[in-house]
């Protein structure tokens, strides 16, 4: 194991996106506490962590090999990499390790609140104990609370696994019976199974007190977003960039105050943005975030799978600045992330109170 970990080397620990760290954002903005609402635990595994887990299980993997896997150019390539990386999370202590590393990354980005998505559907597929995995994750998360980082969790199903498998994810959340589980969501291939097939699953999730999320309008069209809202009662939409293609849907999102969890670098690296624009490739300046935000649609800027997309929250805000959003607009977006978090109004007031206090001192 020591030899294999050695192959990971210090190169894997280099900060991501160093070339984007610039003076695009003021010191005042960088000092603001942040919230992040669309963040996958499995997608946060840095190359050195992947190498260590691979060594633990005797899977050949060097830093270079991991970086090559993290170099996909389309959505299917990303899915294959996600499957491979998540296959190395095999025991509760592996999930705890991932959570501890992610917590440190969030603290370094001034994040004080995060909702972390857990691929529970994958755990069940691999016949893992969701309860034991989650117990280890929660224990690891507790150490960050006293350091100013509050973590909540989303139990996520995989769409292409079907409605019965998704129901098992909801049932696992019910068994875990933790107040830190705030929502149920569905990711994966949004074009694989119609939204209507999951109605009963979302009804059950709502009945046990979970908020409702779904990935929609990432590679699928505007109709996927509309069905998620009208058929499933989705309260926030993961990605949702296809809304730019349907003005009436944009009006609906703005009127009902349904937030889009926007992840710009993810949309570039999976090819999702290029697909929505009907282009072979897309640049960050072509992202519809400014148009969606200025239309009055709530937005929560997020990293999605930060290690796999070579990004962090600061880089995402810098990308938004490159799109033409002004810093005052970015500050409004940071506030929206707190406003649309799945916490009580009292907790929102506490979190935003810390934010306002920091703003007053800056």
Q: Do residues 268 and 304 lie in contact, with contact meaning Cβ atoms separated by under 8 Å? A: no
Is 11 part of any domain? no
Is 13 part of any domain? no
Is 54 part of any domain? no
- pLDDT, position 347: 85
Structure tokens at 41: 């635990």
- pLDDT, position 355: 54
Is 57 strand, coil or helix? coil
DSSP state for residue 304 in the 8-state scheme: B
* Alpha helices (H) along the chain: 2-8, 27-30, 47-56, 63-69, 75-86, 92-108, 120-125, 130-145, 163-176, 199-207, 222-232, 247-256, 264-269, 272-277, 289-294, 313-322, 327-339, 345-361
- pLDDT, position 16: 41
| 45-47-53 Cα angle (round to 5) | 70
CA distance readout (Å), 276 to 112, 210, 256, 263, 280: 33, 31, 23, 14, 10
Is 253 part of any domain? yes
Query: What burial class does residue 200 get, using C-beta atoms within 10 Å of its C-beta: 0-12 exposed, 13-18 middle, 19+ buried?
Result: middle
Is 222 part of any domain? yes
Is 340 part of any domain? yes
The Cα–Cα gap between 235 and 203 comes to 13
What are the beta bridge partners of residue 126?
none
pTM passes above 0.85: yes
**Long-range contacts formed by 85-88: CB under 8 A, 24+ apart:** 85/42, 85/43, 85/45, 85/50, 85/308, 86/42, 86/119, 86/122, 87/126, 88/50, 88/53, 88/54, 88/56, 88/57, 88/59
- Contacting residues for 58 by C-beta, under 8 A, at least 6 apart: none
The CATH number for 109's domain is: 3.20.20.140
- pLDDT, position 10: 41
Structure tokens at 63: 């830093």
Is 150 strand, coil or helix? strand
Domain count, the chain: 1
- Contacting residues for 181 by C-beta, under 8 A, at least 6 apart: 134, 152, 153, 154, 155, 173, 210
In tens, the pLDDT along 29-56 reads: 999 999 999 999 999 999 999 999 999 9
The continuous run of DSSP H or E covering 110 comes out as none
User: In what order do the strands lie in the sheet containing 299-301?
Assistant: 34-40, 111-118, 150-158, 181-187, 211-216, 236-239, 260-262, 299-301
> What b/e sequence results for 282-318 when a residue is b if at least 16 CB atoms lie within 10 Å of its CB, and e otherwise?
bebeebbbbebbeeebbbbbbbbbbbbbbbbbbbbbb
- pLDDT, position 356: 53
- pLDDT, position 241: 98
Q: Which residues are designated catalytic?
A: 218
The Cα–Cα gap between 293 and 287 comes to 11
Token pair 């990432």: residue? 218
- pLDDT, position 348: 82
User: Structural domain of residue 355, as residue ranges?
Assistant: 25-46+92-361
CA distance readout (Å), 45 to 94, 256, 282, 300: 11, 35, 26, 22
Is 64 part of any domain? no
In tens, the pLDDT along 111-142 reads: 999 999 999 999 999 999 999 999 999 999 99
Residue 337 main-chain phi, psi, to 5 deg: -60, -35
Is 213 strand, coil or helix? strand
- pLDDT, position 98: 97
Is 320 part of any domain? yes
- pLDDT, position 22: 55
Q: Which residues of the chain have pLDDT under 70?
A: 1-22, 353-362
């Amino acid at each position: 194991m020591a030899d294999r970990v050695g192959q990971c080397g210090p190169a894997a620990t280099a900060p991501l996106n160093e070339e984007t760290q610039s003076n695009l954002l003021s010191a005042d903005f960088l000092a603001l506490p942040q919230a992040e609402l669309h963040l996958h635990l499995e997608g946060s595994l840095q190359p050195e962590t992947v190498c260590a887990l691979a060594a633990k299980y005797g899977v050949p993997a060097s830093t270079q090999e991991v970086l090559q896997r993290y170099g996909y150019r389309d959505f299917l390539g990303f899915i294959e990499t996600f499957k491979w990386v998540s296959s190395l999370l095999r025991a509760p202590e592996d999930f705890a390790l991932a959570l501890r590393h992610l917590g440190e990354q969030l603290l370094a980005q001034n994040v004080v609140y995060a909702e972390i998505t857990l691929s529970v559907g994958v755990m069940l597929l691999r016949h893992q104990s969701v309860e034991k995995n989650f117990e280890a994750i929660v224990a690891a998360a507790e150490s960050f609370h006293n350091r100013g980082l509050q973590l909540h969790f989303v139990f996520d199903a995989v769409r292409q696994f079907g409605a019965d498998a998704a129901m098992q994810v909801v049932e696992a959340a019910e068994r875990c019976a933790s107040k830190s589980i705030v929502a149920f969501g569905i990711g994966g291939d949004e074009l694989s199974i119609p939204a209507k097939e999951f109605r009963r699953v979302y009804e059950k999730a709502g009945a046990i007190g979970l908020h409702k999320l779904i990935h929609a309008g990432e590679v699928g069209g505007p109709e996927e977003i509309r069905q998620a809202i009208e058929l499933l009662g989705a309260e926030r939409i993961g990605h949702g960039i296809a809304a730019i293609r349907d003005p009436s849907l944009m009006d609906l999102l703005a009127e009902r105050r349904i937030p889009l969890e926007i992840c710009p670098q993810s949309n570039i690296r999976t090819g999702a943005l290029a697909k929505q624009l009907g282009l072979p490739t897309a640049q960050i300046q072509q992202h519809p975030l400014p148009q969606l935000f200025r239309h009055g649609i709530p937005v929560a800027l997020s990293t999605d799978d930060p290690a796999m997309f070579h990004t962090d929250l600061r880089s995402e805000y810098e990308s938004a600045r490159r799109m033409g959003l002004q810093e005052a607009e970015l500050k409004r977006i940071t506030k929206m992330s707190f406003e649309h978090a799945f916490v009580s109004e009292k907790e929102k007031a506490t979190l935003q109170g810390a934010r306002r206090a920091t703003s007053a001192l800056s």
